[in-house]
Amino acid sequence: MTDRVALVLAALILAALALDFWLFGAAGGLIVLRKLSQLVDYLIFWR
Protein backbone atom coordinates (compact mmCIF):
# COMPACT_ATOMS: atom_id res chain seq x y z
CA MET A 1 0.00 0.00 0.00
CA THR A 2 1.41 3.33 -0.99
CA ASP A 3 1.34 6.45 1.14
CA ARG A 4 -1.23 8.06 -1.11
CA VAL A 5 -3.63 5.11 -0.82
CA ALA A 6 -3.19 5.02 2.96
CA LEU A 7 -3.90 8.75 3.25
CA VAL A 8 -7.01 8.49 1.07
CA LEU A 9 -8.32 5.56 3.13
CA ALA A 10 -7.65 7.43 6.37
CA ALA A 11 -9.43 10.51 5.02
CA LEU A 12 -12.43 8.42 3.97
CA ILE A 13 -12.66 6.76 7.38
CA LEU A 14 -12.41 10.09 9.18
CA ALA A 15 -15.02 11.63 6.88
CA ALA A 16 -17.39 8.71 7.49
CA LEU A 17 -16.95 9.00 11.26
CA ALA A 18 -17.48 12.77 11.15
CA LEU A 19 -20.61 12.37 9.02
CA ASP A 20 -21.94 9.67 11.37
CA PHE A 21 -21.31 11.88 14.38
CA TRP A 22 -22.91 14.90 12.74
CA LEU A 23 -26.01 13.12 11.37
CA PHE A 24 -26.68 10.30 13.81
CA GLY A 25 -24.91 11.25 17.03
CA ALA A 26 -22.20 8.58 16.63
CA ALA A 27 -24.66 5.66 16.81
CA GLY A 28 -23.01 3.90 13.86
CA GLY A 29 -19.57 4.19 15.44
CA LEU A 30 -20.83 2.57 18.62
CA ILE A 31 -22.27 -0.33 16.67
CA VAL A 32 -18.97 -0.83 14.84
CA LEU A 33 -17.03 -0.74 18.12
CA ARG A 34 -19.37 -3.29 19.70
CA LYS A 35 -18.97 -5.64 16.73
CA LEU A 36 -15.21 -5.15 16.80
CA SER A 37 -15.21 -6.04 20.50
CA GLN A 38 -17.16 -9.22 19.74
CA LEU A 39 -14.68 -10.08 16.97
CA VAL A 40 -11.73 -9.64 19.34
CA ASP A 41 -13.42 -11.86 21.93
CA TYR A 42 -14.04 -14.50 19.25
CA LEU A 43 -10.42 -14.39 18.11
CA ILE A 44 -9.16 -14.64 21.69
CA PHE A 45 -11.31 -17.73 22.18
CA TRP A 46 -9.83 -19.49 19.15
CA ARG A 47 -6.25 -18.55 19.94
Domain ranges across the chain: 3-46
Query: Residue 46 — pLDDT band, cuts 50, 70, 90?
Result: confident
Q: Is the pLDDT of residue 47 over 80?
A: no
Q: Is the pLDDT of residue 24 over 90?
A: no
Query: Residue 26 — pLDDT band, cuts 50, 70, 90?
Result: confident
CA dihedral 7, 13, 18, 20 (to 10 degrees): 170
Query: Residue 6 — pLDDT band, cuts 50, 70, 90?
Result: very high
Average confidence score pLDDT of the chain:
90
Mean pLDDT of 32-36: 91
